[in-house]
Structure formats: C-alpha cells, structure tokens
Structure 1
Amino acid sequence: MSLPAKVKIVEVSPRDGLQNEKDFIATGIKVELVDRLSAAGFPNIEAASFVSPKWVPQMADGAEVMQGIRRRPGTIYSVLTPNLRGFEGALAAKADEVVIFGAASEAFSQRNINCTIAESIARFEPVAAAAKQAGVRLRGSISCALGCPYQGEVPIESVVDVARRLLALGCDEIDVADTIGVGTATRVRQVMDAVTKVVDPSRVSGHFHDTYGQSLANILAAMEAGISIFHTSVAGLGGCPYAKGATGNVATEDVLYMMDGLGVNTGVDLNEVVDIGMWISSRIGRKTSSRAGNALAARRAA
C-alpha cells in the first residue's frame, strides 16, 4: 500500500462547520477559532462565506471575520463565493482563495437551484474570470459526488464531467465531496481513480462527511488513489441539512490521529487541535463528536 508522505489538511470548521448552527455565534468567537487554527499549523483554513445573509445568516459577518483574524504567513485563508458580488466582497477582504461549487447530481441541482449542472457551473464563469484576473486562487467543489439525497446513486461519469468543467474554468484545486456521507471505500477509490484521469491528483481533494462512520476508511481509500488533500472540521462540527441524522464533517482530531499512526506528515499539532475542539464545543454549547478528541482529553485528565 503506497501512501503519500505528507497530506494537506484544509480546516473547514469556521465556515462549513459553523454555517448550520441555529444560534448566531459571536464574530469574536469565529475570529478566535480561526486564529487558534492558524497557530496549530493548518496550511489552509476555510474562514468565511460571502453569501447572502438571507440564505445563510450565520455567515453574515464574513467581512468582519476576515478583518479581525491574525494571518499566519504561508496559510491560505479561503472563502465561499457563490456569485460576482460575493467575489467582490472576498477580494475586498483580501481572501487568498475563493471557492465555487457545483453538484454532480442533476436532481440535486434542479431541486436546490432550479437549473441544470451545466447551467449552474456556467454561472460561475464571471467569478472564475475575475479570480484569474485578480490573481486569486480558485477552488471548485463537486457536491454529491458519492450520492444524492434525491436521486440516490450518482454516476461516476457525472462527477468526471463536473471536474472537467471546473478545470476548464481554471480551478487550481478541485474537491470531491461526499455531501451526505454515503460513500464507501470501494466507491471512493473508483471515483478518485476516474477523476484523477482528467485532473492531476495533486490538485484533487477529498471532503467526507461521517454520516455512516465511513470517513476514515474513505480517506484511506482516497490516499491509496494518490489523493493528498483532505477537508476536516475540528470537533466534527457541521451537519448536512439534506441527510437525516447526518453527523457532519469528519473530525480533524480523528484524521490527525490516523495520519500520525500511518506516519504521514500533516504539519498540524494534534494536541493543540484537541484543545481547540474542546474550546469551540464549549463555546457553542455542544459536545465534540471527535472520538480521538474525547479519548485524548480523557487521557490527559486521568
């Protein structure tokens, strides 16, 4: 089994992890979360979202968060930008990377944004062009790449087609996202093998939700397929509104513990991340869902 010697962990808790929280989280807490994650050594942090406050009220303070954080040299601070207005906000906030997205499921695209996959990605052409002109990194995310809440199985060819379209827009990195967490290791390997035939593996990342407890196995399968970039969320923060019982993103602490055991370098301090997971969980009034985080914290307390 050949595994990469080093992986890049993209920490998504400040954006993907917090966006579905019902009670508004104070801007200062969001800023502190990003700062703590920066200090722990993450090379890439998804820090905010420039979407309409009407749709995602939790992310209404994106500009304030970006203004308040202490930027660590070498760290990429990413923001989600669904349209040109969002991109202009991201540019003003000095984001290092903007993120656009398209579904691999036709049913998902029609149900959520009332257009075809091709039409949805065409809408990002102005954002992609503006990012390239401004010299800002562009990342594209493929949602429902391993299953859809409406149509069920998603053909691998559909995932590859979206990857091609995002590549044509000029995306520097492309995420293969298991939005509802239904993927299994064999399917992940098949999807990644297919995507990496059209996109260089060094530019492909895996974004897994742990709804069925398969995320760590799926990450390992993706690593065997040559993938070395993964998205994680401290304390397992985040949920999926489309899947009942979804537990959200794979916990950063669990992934770091696995990587340490495999001898794979992440450059991120696991002990610091355990502290961050416990801290943010207490601030938003919930328990961490990270098994490694809970176990390591209990060991310390013993």
Structure 2
Amino acid sequence: MNFPPKVTIKEVGPRDGLQNEHELVPLDAKIDWINMLSDSGFSYIEISSFVHPKWIPQLKDAKEVAKGIKRHPDTTYAALVPNQRGLERALEVNIDEVCVFISASETHNLKNVNKSIASTMQVIEKVAEEASSNHKTVRGYISTVFGCPYEGETSIDQVLSLCEKLLEMGVEELSIGDTIGVADPLQVEKVTTALLNYFPKDKLAMHFHNTRGTALANVLSAMNLGIAKFDSAVGGLGGCPYAKGATGNLATEDLLYMLQRMGVKTEINIEKVNEAASFIARYVPTLSSHQIKLLNN
C-alpha cells in the first residue's frame, strides 16, 4: 500500500447533505452548524447552493447562510452555482469558491438540470470565465462517473473528455462522483488509473456515496493511487434527488476515524466533528440511527 501521509477532507454536508432532506433545517441552526464545522479544523466547507429555490427549497437561504457564518481565514467557503444568475447571488455574498456541476451521463444530466451535456458545458464555460474574472476559484463536480441510474455503467472515455474540457475552461479541481454509490474498489482503481494517465493527481478529488457500504473501501483504493482529497458529509447526510434509492455521502466522522487509526494526517478534530454531527442530528431525523451508533461506541 502506498497511502499519502496527509489527506484533505472537503466537507459537503451543508450543501450536498441537506439538499435531499424533507425537513427544512432552520437558518440559525445551519449557521451554528457551519460555525462548528469551521471550529473543527476543516480547510474547505461547501456551505450551500445558489440553485433556484423552486428546485431545492432546502437551500433557499443560501445568501443568509453566507452572510451569517463566521469565516475562518484558513477555510475556503464554497457554494454550488448552476448558472450566471446563481453566480451573481454568490458573488454578492463573497463566496470563496464557485462549484459547477455536470453529469457524465446524458439522461441524468437532463433529469438533474433539464439540459443536455453540451448545453450545460456552455453554461459552465460562462460561469467559470466570470468567476475567474472576479478572482474566484472554480471547482467542477462530475456526477455518475461510476454508474448512472438510467443508463447503467458510464463510459470512461466520456468522463475523460468532460474532465479535459472542464480543465480547459479554467476549472481548477474536479470532484469525481459516485453519485448513486455503485462503485467498488476495483472499478475505482480502473477509473482513477485512467484519469491519472491524463491529469495530475492534485487536480482530482473523489466523491463517494455509501449506498452499498463500499465508500471507505473505495477511498482506500483511490488513496493507494495517490489521491489525497475526498468529499464527505458529517453524519453521512445526503442523496441524489434524481437517483431513486441513492443514500448519503460517506460520513466524515467514519472517514476521519479510519484515517486517524491509519496515522494519516487531516488537521481535523474528530471530537468536534462528532459534536457537529450530534448537533445537526437534532434537526435531521434520518441521522438518528447513525448518531446512536456513533455515540455508543
């Protein structure tokens, strides 16, 4: 095994974690939660999404969240931005990093953003250009890399093509997503190896969902190839609104526990992360069973 000595964990719970919840978390609770995450030592927190409230009402308070949180100087506060109108709102509240998103499968992209992949790329190009001109970094999410709920297995060539185009547009980092949690360690090795044949490892992060309990194993597979950046969500929050049956993200506290036991540095305080998980569980009923297990062990 050839694991990196340090891993960067990118906390996506406040956005990817909450976007699929039926219960609306109060604004004050979101702000307090994000402040707890900042105090835990995360260098990166995705705090919300500037998607139209009609599509994701759970995140309709994105501007208020961005205005209300306490910002640590060593933390990047990012948000998902679907289009130029969303970018305008994000710039108004001085988001540090703009996140754009696209699916590797045509059908999922149509379901997710009601546009073809080609049309979505045109939107992303304009958003990336304007974000860069406003001195904001841009991160790109590529969904359904390891499988699509509508089309099945995704073509690696399609993924490579999207990665190349996004990087050419000025996207600085790519988050490679197992949106529905179908990946296994051998598939992760195959896809990651293909990506590393063309792109530097520091341009790549992995985003695993834990639908079938394979997320941690998939992290180890990617780490063994030198990948050192991973997305996760406190409490394993999350899911995909357009992928029936897809469950939450890899739980941040589970990832931290594993890395800590392995001697891999993260600079994150796991006790404070557990406290943040317990806090948000008061507002998100789906976390109850996870938290009972966590607090009793």
**Deviation by residue 1:10-31 (Cα, 9 ceiling, x = unmatched):** 0011111011122321110110
**Deviation by residue 1:126-176 (Cα, 9 ceiling, x = unmatched):** 111111111101000100000000000001111111111110111111000
Q: Does 1:39 align with 2:36?
A: no
Contact map agreement 2:193 2:225 (CA 8 A) in 1: yes
Deviates more, 1:189-198 or 1:175-184: 189-198
Deviation at 1:110, TM superposition (A): 3.5
In structure 2, stretches of 5+ residues that fail to align are none
**Number of positions where the alignment pairs a residue of Structure 1 with one of Structure 2:** 297
Contact map agreement 2:140 2:166 (CA 8 A) in 1: yes
**Deviation by residue 1:198-233 (Cα, 9 ceiling, x = unmatched):** 221012000010001110001111111211110010
The answer for the alignment partner of 1:297 in structure 2 is 295
- TM, length-normalised to structure 2: 0.96
Structure 1 distance, partners of 2:95, 2:238, is 22
Alignment of 1:209-224 (within 5 A): 209-224=209-224
- TM, length-normalised to structure 1: 0.94
The answer for the alignment partner of 1:162 in structure 2 is 162
Alignment of 1:109-258 (within 5 A): 109-258=109-258
In structure 1, stretches of 5+ residues that fail to align are none
**Deviation by residue 1:74-93 (Cα, 9 ceiling, x = unmatched):** 10000000001111111111
Amino acid corresponding to residue 298 of structure 1 in structure 2:
N
Deviation at 1:240, TM superposition (A): 2.2
Structure 2 distance, partners of 1:254, 1:202, is 23
Structure 2 distance, partners of 1:288, 1:73, is 33
Contact map agreement 1:251 1:289 (CA 8 A) in 2: no
The answer for the alignment partner of 1:9 in structure 2 is 9
Amino acid corresponding to residue 146 of structure 2 in structure 1:
L
The answer for the alignment partner of 2:268 in structure 1 is 268
Structure 1 distance, partners of 2:240, 2:113, is 17
Larger RCO: 1 or 2 (CA < 8 Å, sep 6+): 2
Structure 2 distance, partners of 1:66, 1:275, is 22
Contact map agreement 2:180 2:247 (CA 8 A) in 1: no
Deviation at 1:111, TM superposition (A): 4.0
The answer for the alignment partner of 2:58 in structure 1 is 58
* % identical equivalent positions: 43
Structure 1 distance, partners of 2:54, 2:153, is 31
